[in-house]
Amino acid sequence: MKVLVTGDKGYIGSVLTNKLLVKGFEVKGIDADYYSDCLLEDIEENYEQISKDIRDIKIEDLKGIDAIIHLAALSNDPLGEFDESLTEDINFNATVELASLSKKCGIKRFIFASSQSMYGVSDMDTELDEEKSKKNPITAYAKTKWLSEVELLKMCDKEFHVVCFRPSTVFGASPRLRCDIVFNNFVGCAYTTRKIEIKSDGSPWRPVIHIEDVCDALISGLEAPLSIISGKSYNVGIKNGNYTVKLLAETAAKYIPNSEVIFTGEHGKDSRTYKVSFKRIYKDLSEWYKPKWDLDKGAQQMISLFDSCNFSETDFRGSKTNRLIKLQELIKNNKYNLSLRKI
């Protein structure tokens, strides 16, 4: 099977492509190259790669493709607020157009990397499930992910099969690491400064998932029978995978000698708190989705990466591991324009 991965040079894509190759899939990558040089360690990328904005994908780019894993997006809430119209154009319009072209090409499987951010602020009495729980997207990023799911699932039929995966907040090592997501940020901050400052009271709940397990979930969309997954959305997480921000910070600090967690409390009690149910993915995909990682293993894995690359506070705070800072740098250096197109 030949698989097209959009966003193959991102945080998740850099891990996913290698796992696909190891499993024997033929891989093609399409990426706008915003983060291609954000490497903490060397990586072999022995597959076909195209440098192209997903807004510019044409039908000829899809010839010979059997399945698509669509990762490419402005990839979290701060990036989504970078320019709301750009977020809509890249995350929603380009996604729908890519799916439309894929359907015309006869591509059978379209696997969409969605997000749990669509749940927004939730009622904490119940864990959120895929169908019954209210969608309350607050940010531009969350809105585009939810709207994309709605449109993609309308396209699903007997010839074109769509499955949407909604990962918890991802953590763990990647050659193109991100430190602008919660647990990675805590581990990176503790490693480089011996402090973790939390501006809330630490009580909000966050579901988290290791990057390797996210990749396995996406790959299950290639391996599981279409009769099981077609037209469905899945929350991606681990059993008992909902954690308070305080516990995330304390786990990070546990593995960094002489580090401390400081609760400044200046933002008071954070209203963005939610717990998510993962019953559906365990019920439907237990044969293919078998998560192996937890916070402790993930923290130790990141520390090993930091040790091997002499990770510094400059790396932690700079453009190499923070996506919004990188985009601002690319624009400032006249490599990309304000529409995030290459100059």
Instruction: Grade residue 342 by pLDDT with cuts at 50, 70 and 90.
Output: very high
In a domain, 65, yes or no: yes
Is residue 339 a part of any domain in this protein? no
Q: What is the mean pLDDT of residues 83-100?
A: 94
- Whether residue 184 is contained in a domain is answered as yes
User: CB-hemisphere CA count at 13 Å for 244?
Assistant: 11
Is 337 a member of any domain?
A: no
**Would you say residue 341 lies in a domain?**
no
Question: Look-up: residue for tokens 């580090």?
Answer: 259
Residue 270 lies in a domain: yes
Residues 270, 210, 66, 75: is their CA dihedral positive or negative?
A: positive
Domain of 104, CATH number, reads 3.40.50.720
Distance CA 168, CA 22 (A): 25
One DSSP character per residue, 287-327 reads TT------HHHHHHHHHHHHHHTT--HHHHHSTTT-HHHHH
Whose tokens are 């299950």? That residue is 220
The predicted model scores a pTM of 0.95
Domain limits for position 283: 2-332
Predicted local confidence at residue 136, as pLDDT: 85
Q: Is residue 47 part of a domain?
A: yes
Which residue is associated with the tokens 């099981």?
228
Whether the pLDDT of residue 95 is over 80: the answer is: yes
Structure tokens at 49: 């790669």
* Domain count for the chain: 1
Of the chain, the end-to-end C-alpha distance in Å amounts to: 35
pLDDT at 61: 97
- pLDDT band, very low/low/confident/very high, at 270 (cuts 50, 70, 90): low
* pLDDT: which is higher, 205 or 103: 103
Q: What is the pLDDT of residue 271?
A: 57
pLDDT of residue 77: 59
Instruction: Say if 92 falls within a structural domain.
Output: yes
